[in-house]
Amino acid sequence: MASPVEISFTATETAGLATREGRIAILIGESNRLPAGLPRATRDVALRALDSAGWKAVKAGGSLELAYPAGLQAEALQLISLPKKAGVAEARKAGAAIGAKLGKVETTVLADNHPQAAELALGLALRGYTFDVYKTAKSGDVSAETEGESARAHVTFMCADPEALARKAEAGAAVAEGVFFTRDLINEPANVLTTTDFADRLLAMRELGLEVEVLDEDELAKLGMRALLGVGLGSETPSKVVVMRWNGGGEEAPLALVGKGVVFDTGGISIKPAAGMEEMTMDMGGAGVVAGVMRTLALRRAKANVVGLVGLVENMPDGRAQRPGDIVKSMKGDTIEIVNTDAEGRLVLADVLWYAQKRFNPSAVIDLATLTGAVIVALGHDHAGLFSNDDPLVEALLSAAKAEGEGAWRMPLAPAYDKLIDTRLADMKNSGGRSAGSITAAQFLQRFIRKDQPWVHIDIAGVALPPGGTTLAPKGATGWGVMTLDRLIRDRYEAK
């Protein structure tokens, strides 16, 4: 998997700055004061830049870059606007400004004793992500065989107390690795990330202390998961459910995280248009987020009980594939008329949600899925849609999302929407049509939530793979949700 950039922490020493290669970033506070020890020529050019109209237009978290600055051997000097009173979002944005420019050279960050230096490091790591495993070396480049780890960027933070900052940054490093794991999974092509490969990657997390088990098709059939199994009938790759457990919180009932893991979605017999179908490699985004959260919890040894369950399937059309008009029975025992085979994610979640509640009796259930295009119509690519039967839980989630800078918006549930999925032939149908599509999908899922079970459904279709980059992520998978759920677990479920 892609690893966050290596960051080391050392005491501030400006005497040797003139001969340091690569890039140098300096944090600039309200007074525009430069650190002592800069070469005279560098100080002069930096002061001139700080007096310019260009710098005056830079807001907190932004930067101004000077190429090949006088007095330095470095190829660039980056001036970062970050007042001492800056908040978490501004500090991460400032780190992202450095991370976006990393390349494959050494970067030195003069952080002094800034109180948000750890958040700066997290923002740097998140924005410095690259997914280039399928990029071959171009003519004249260093070969892949000889390039190795030496070509990766390295960052040195010069600060007042290196040991204290390193300790403070540890939690952020665990979060960054979880986000990277999620991004890698979502970015992988479906010919690589099959259901089997996905399950194997999760099994490998046993090395971190997670308990991981894989339920195969025979076991799923015995459990009665016919809704989930129906989705994968047309695929050569077998359907699976993977259960990950982190037990760090004593005897408390676990929080259950459930993720949709459709590794590729053609739409099945109700086949999607060709344009844009290549992005359906991201339809396992919910499962990717659950996996990333579980990895983060294990890495930071969280004092909480959390179980992560993911349903892994592929939705393909062939002679065995599920048809519109078919009727299947869920693990719960409810029957479902399939009116659209492209409304498959809710079928996967229905069975896994019921299994999670029946087996683990969780304190709360949160599911994540790239479930509907309708949520993109409603909220665009800046907010995930949240649906819930429990006000305190959803408010805690919204608060966590706000604290982490991940957009989330609560959407309604109501009996009037529920009626849209009633059908004369079965207990329900799997689609209510175009009107209120994200809401009727959530109403469908709510039918598989036990009475009095706190539950939130998060539709991440718009935020998992937006059309462009974000503040903390280059173009591609964002890993939305790992930070929010980790924050929620810290604040609400972790033993104090």
First to last CA, the chain: 32
Distance CA 98, CA 293 (A): 25
* Cβ atoms 365, 353 nearer than 8 A: yes
Residues 6 or more apart in contact with residue 386 via CB below 8 angstroms: 394, 397, 398, 408, 409, 410, 411, 456, 457, 458, 459
10 backbone φψ class: left, alpha, beta (φ>0; ψ -120 to 50):
beta
Catalytic residue among 272, 303, 323, 492: 272
Element (H, E) at 40: helix 40-50
What's the chain's length in residues? 496
How far, in Å, CA of 201 to CA of 224, rounded?
26
Measured CA to CA, the distance from residue 492 to residue 494 in angstroms comes to 6
Whether 346 is catalytic: yes
**Which two structure tokens, joined as six digits, stand for 78?**
């980056």
Q: Which two three-digit tokens encode residue 475?
A: 């173009």
Q: Are 385 and 437 in contact (CB under 8 A)?
A: no
Q: Where are the alpha helices (DSSP H) in 258-344?
A: 285-299
Q: Which of 101, 240, 346, 487 is catalytic?
A: 346
Tokens of 479: 């890993």
Comparing CA positions, the residue from 72, 55, 94, 494 lying closest to residue 301 is: 494
Q: Is 327 exposed, middle or buried (0-12, 13-18, 19+ CB in 10 A)?
A: middle
Q: Are 312 and 240 in contact (CB under 8 A)?
A: yes
101 is catalytic: no
Nearest to 61 by CA among 382, 491, 405: 405
Catalytic positions are 272, 346
